[in-house]
Amino acid sequence: MREETFETFRARANELGDITVSAHYLKFPERQICSVRCSLESLKKLELMTKAITGFRFLWTQAGFFDALPPREQRDWSDALSSRLTFNPDAEYSVCVLDTGLAVNHPLLKPAIAKSGVDSCNPQNWGSDDHNGHGTAMAGIALFGDLTPLLESTEAIEIGHLVESVKVFPPEGKNENEHIGYITAQAIGRAEINRPDLKRVFCLSWTIEHEASTKDIQITGGKPTPLSAKIDQLAFGVDESGDWHINDDRKRLLIVSAGNIAESFRPDEYPSINDLYEIEDPAQAWNVLSVGAYTEKTFTNDPTYNEWSVIAGIGELSPRSRTSVLWGKSYWPTKPDIVLEGGNYLSSGNYFEDHPDICPLTTNKDGIFSHTKDTSAANAEAARLAAILASQYPGFWPESIRGLLVHSAKWTPGMLNEESFKNKSRKIAHLRRYGYGVPQKNFLMNSFSNRPCVVIQDYLQPFAQSKSSQNIIFNNMNYYVLPWPREKLEAIVDQVVKLRVTLSYFIEPSPSERPPKNKYSYASHELRFKLNRPNELEDVFLARINKELQIEEINEELSGEYEISDQTAVDEQDKWLLGPESRNRGSLISDIWQGTGPELATQNLIAVVPQVGWWKFRKNFPDADNGRYNQRVRYSLILSLVCETEVDLYTPITQEIGIPVEIIV
């Protein structure tokens, strides 16, 4: 509707008598959005009476409809959906849900449960059934996503991955926090032993509540805990027995929820309250994909709540989702990495409630359907997307799957304002609130003619022993000649061309209370990407990077814990949306270069360079003859060009593949 016409519109609707208009509406510049329940004939009359309607679309059936159905009718809907589902019993990938167990006889889940895919960390005392319902709810999202649109559809649906469950929580009492890391490792080990032929995404839709946690006290500040460090080690593929061997074939993708605000708060405290609650353990782990929640669900047709309004608007942060804004400019990784649908809440003005209509619909351990919400639901959806992507591209490493979920993400209009990228502090706060945004499913799975995507999976040895001394120094960097279609780019002079770059890699953790207590004592190594400047020739680019590495080696060894200072990157800041000083935190970094086609045509060189880590300082680990400084590491470098013009950039890129060149630095 046009602006300032809502009350008039509702008054005219009341005159017609058979039209129900939602009490709440969403306000945008020159437009207002509300929900209307009526016949098409009445809608035509209303449009003629008010001339306020600028457009409409049918509102999908909401989750509350299915959630409220009696058991027999829920079963009928389930049977109808089952008749349209096709599963692949020979699927190579599964989502392994580490949670409260699984209702194995649920009619929608049963056909997709992997053989030998249900277990428990304590089979004798805990069993493997779902005592709480959370595990079954997460399995439903991890397999199907939000069930509401699937139930409403009439199309055939193919499910290309399986689901597994390992129970990590006891039916009574709780796990001691100091044992959670061990239990998590046992759960992962059990799943892999039970089905060594399966590749999997591990879904951890839970966090650990520390007793001292209040909104006034930071628990981690981004610093590692025994649990987060163990998860980093599991992701990195370290065999902790014997010689601490690193097995790249055992690297794992773990997806972890950011955590929810458990305490009550006033609706008018949103969204400021979210910035005061830091993400919970183990979502600060470097090697995981950490998932927060946002929402697109803003309407209910329940007449009981006619005078209530939703807390979050379209595309805004889900009301209980935690952030890492309190970490500020510290070295510790930017979290969450992405956000996905976590539902909304209804407010009466003084307090708020959840409602099935504004939540995702999933599987219920005691029946068929129930709603779920918050970062748990968002996290399970991320695991589903990861499994779909991995199934479609089985050659992609876990680092690549994690990187592509970030690379495909964008911020919604509800997350953006003119202050979002005004300065470094605002950029960092924006990232720590929303991560890189919401993965765009179409681009996640495909390249397009005017949006080609290149994924480079490669290795690099960051450190080596100096030939002239016993010191450990930087060893290699890799650089790539990018296959840009130069003539086509040079012709794009009247609009912005964007280059998105994402670098994803895993680090080996080394939690320690010994000084120095900063990221260089925790991460084994770090990597960064650097793009050549306009018209900068190859030899000049490489000489500059070598010089910068020498400066950074000195600066990073001497730097403190709380502030990143990258003086060599200041002149590269202008064309990047975030810039090196805002983006370079953790082992998953992404940024967008924006400029003209002719500028980008000459910027066809990108380097992946090493940074300082504990491998550089602990020369004799694991032993004097085989130090970690001799270890090579792998990474995924993802690049995509984005052009609004319908110009084919994809075909010429596929005809010319960039070749990596290793340079000794």
Residues 407 and 321 in one domain: yes
In a domain, 362, yes or no: yes
Q: Are 375 and 274 in contact (CB under 8 A)?
A: no
Q: Give pLDDT, residue 468.
A: 79
Q: 451 - beta bridge partners? A: 448
Residues 214 and 241 in one domain: yes
Residues 228 and 321 in one domain: yes
Compute the distance between CA of residue 24 and CA of residue 165 in angstroms, rounded to an integer: 41
Give the contacts of 575 (CB within 8 A, at least 6 positions apart). 593, 594, 595, 599
Domain end marker among 392, 419, 444: 444
Which of 442, 440, 436 is CA-nearest to residue 392?
442
Q: Give pLDDT, residue 78.
A: 97
Dump pLDDT digits (tens) for 261-284. 999 999 999 999 999 999 999 999
Q: Give pLDDT, residue 492.
A: 83
Tokens 């956000």 map to which residue? 339
- How far is C-alpha 9 from the chain's CA centre? 40
Q: Give pLDDT, residue 486.
A: 81
Q: Strand, helix or coil at 383?
A: helix
Q: Which helix (H) or strand (E) holds 147?
A: helix 147-152
In a domain, 279, yes or no: yes
Compute the distance between CA of residue 657 and CA of residue 661 in angstroms, rounded to an integer: 13
* Runs of H (alpha helix) within 408-461: 424-434, 441-445
CA dihedral 596, 602, 605, 611 (to 10 degrees): -60
In a domain, 104, yes or no: yes
Q: Are 254 and 220 in contact (CB under 8 A)?
A: no
Residues 259 and 114 in one domain: yes
Phi-psi sector, 528: left (phi>0), alpha (psi -120 to 50), beta: beta
Q: Give pLDDT, residue 213.
A: 44
Residues 498 and 379 in one domain: no
Which of 177, 208, 225 is CA-nearest to residue 522?
225
> Which segments in the chain show pLDDT lower than 70?
1-5, 18, 22-31, 37, 51, 56-60, 210-219, 241-242, 447-450, 512-520, 552-573, 624, 648, 652-665
Residues 440 and 500 in one domain: no
Residues 481 and 434 in one domain: no
For CA atoms 339, 415, 411, 609, give the dihedral sign: negative
Residues 187, 190, 192, CA angle at the centre, nearest 5°?
Answer: 110
Domain end marker among 422, 444, 466: 444
Residue 105: CATH number of its domain = 3.40.50.200
Residues 188 and 324 in one domain: yes
Beta strands in 514-560 (DSSP E): 526-531
pTM: 0.89
Dump pLDDT digits (tens) for 306-342. 889 999 999 999 999 999 999 999 989 999 999 999 9
In a domain, 194, yes or no: yes
Examine residue 534 and say whether the peptide bond preceding it is cis (omega within 30 degrees of 0): no
Local structure of residue 629 (DSSP, 8 states): G
What's the domain range around 320? 63-444
Q: Give pLDDT, residue 508.
A: 96
Tokens 């194995």 map to which residue? 104
Residues 512 and 411 in one domain: no
In a domain, 271, yes or no: yes
Q: Give pLDDT, residue 25.
A: 65
Residues 377 and 475 in one domain: no
Q: Give pLDDT, residue 41.
A: 75
Residues 412 and 509 in one domain: no
Give the contacts of 154 (CB within 8 A, at least 6 positions apart). 84
CA distances from 244 to 206, 214, 234, 627 (A): 29, 38, 12, 11
Domain end marker among 386, 420, 444: 444
Residues 189 and 290 in one domain: yes
Q: Give pLDDT, residue 1.
A: 57
Q: 609 - beta bridge partners? A: 528
Q: Are 162 and 114 in contact (CB under 8 A)?
A: yes
In a domain, 55, yes or no: no
**Per the structure, how many domains does the chain have?**
3
Compute the distance between CA of residue 109 and CA of residue 320 in angstroms, rounded to an integer: 28
In a domain, 1, yes or no: no
The tokens for 514 are 């010994």
Q: Are 121 and 183 in contact (CB under 8 A)?
A: yes
In a domain, 58, yes or no: no
Local structure of residue 420 (DSSP, 8 states): T
Compute the distance between CA of residue 357 and CA of residue 298 in angstroms, rounded to an integer: 9
Q: Give pLDDT, residue 656.
A: 63
Q: Are 31 and 56 in contact (CB under 8 A)?
A: no
